[in-house]
Amino acid sequence: MKKLNKLSIIGYGAGDAANNLAFTTATMFLLVYYTDVAGISAAAAGTLLLVVRFFDAFADVFAGRIIDRTYSKRFGKFRPFIMFGSIPLLLLSVATFSIPQLGESGTLLYAYVTYAALGLAYSLVNIPYGSLAGAMTQDPGERAKLGSARMVGALLVGSALGIFVAPLIKPGANLQGMFTTITLIFVVIGTALYFFTALTAKERVHRAVPKVTFKQSMDTLKGNKPLLMLCLSSFFFLSGYLALTSVQLFYLRDVLGRLDLYPVLSIVQLVLTFFLAAFMPKLVRNVGKKRVYIYSSLITVAGGAIIFLTPASQVWIGFTGLVISLVGVLAVNIVVWALEADTVEYGEWRTGVRTEGITYALFSFTRKSGQAVGGALAAYALALGGYKSGGVAQTADAVFGIQIAAGALPAVLTILAVLVMTRYTLTDAKHAEILKEIQERRTKTVGSGEAADARVPVEASTTT
């Protein structure tokens, strides 16, 4: 199999950096923006996150079907969405963080509409972006490189937000002006990154059926047990991860009393990302993707237990718990994309039709559902604890609610993710056998001369 050049790997990573200018900004700061800036109660914000993120999950399926039915001879199947959907997505991020004062009902309605629109726009860019990895290469090591590049791109943005933005969220600051300015800057940066991805990360995998029918999509999904197991496990894992992400700022500010440690955590996250990105392809080859996923998840469980059990006075133990959780989360988020790409080949092996769009959409549907549940549970934990907005000192019950959201919920939900993943049957050895059989089928079909024009590589077709 042909190796990917460095520019295409970097270009692919740039796409997730652009994605996370919208996505990570929302997951890190939207809850605190809704409660402390827009004046929406924690309970109402939790319901909003639950409803809209479930809507986002269905938007992913809609986007997957659109993608499977679309094909451009010049740009391929996925890159047109990345190019033409990028600017609307980034502008909607500005609107989401620019809520005008419209009264209690008007403010809440504006928040629902803008966040839902942002989610739909994100689906129409992120689903093709995520599907693109499976179309760039079928080599497990190369896919691990793409997963690493994706994680580096995302974490560069996440770390920058933690280092430069999070410390600004303090009482008395003009938070509305800050969020509007930052999201407008992201429109310029994000557009440049998306177009860099579209110009460098090209599709190279043969495609027998350029436009997939609805029946073919459903046939591919029905018997894809590895995909279903991966989806269910990711649902639990993402529920826990989003609970932690949603209240991480609250935990550092209101429990440990050390908001100044947020930039430190972001720097640690950045260092860990580069280390894991370099180390992960070798680890995948030696241990296997499934084991890496399970072992990394157990590290996250240990970190969550430390966060939950550590008294608020023990700052450095609690901070260590955050770091340990981070190690597990980063490793899982690198390897999970390679696992998802493997399930595309499993579906193709069973049915003869390659459906990256709907496969990735189903995977993303369950991840978005997990994000919906995790973000809502975190907000409800704040509400039940009696969290008071405005940077005031929190009661013991409020502190305990934050610890539940940051520690207990991620630990319990990640244990469930591990239990599901033990049922995942698509090992690396099995995937290698499937790839070999798919290649043999293609060779026989091309040799017979049947529909040869539909099976040329996408990169060859784009030159005509």
What is the domain partition of the chain in residue ranges?
11-202+223-429
Instruction: Return the structure tokens found at 138.
Output: 């079928």
Q: Assign residue 391 a region: left if phi > 0, alpha if psi is -120 to 50, beta otherwise? A: left
d(CA 96, CA 433): 47
Average pLDDT of the chain to the nearest whole number: 82
**pLDDT score, position 377:** 87
**pLDDT score, position 432:** 84
**pLDDT score, position 55:** 86
d(CA 303, CA 296): 11
Host H or E run for residue 431 = helix 428-448
**pLDDT score, position 376:** 83
Residues of the chain with pLDDT below 50 are 209, 450-464
Residue with tokens 């090209």: 202
Fold for the domain defined by 11-202+223-429: Growth Hormone; Chain: A; (1.20.1250)
Provide the whole-model pTM: 0.68
d(CA 38, CA 34): 5
Distance of CA 414 to the CA centre of its chain: 16
d(CA 144, CA 142): 5
**pLDDT score, position 451:** 44
Q: Assign residue 172 a region: left if phi > 0, alpha if psi is -120 to 50, beta otherwise? A: left
**pLDDT score, position 397:** 85
> Any idea what the Cα angle at residue 211 is, between residues 210 and 217, rounded to 5°?
115
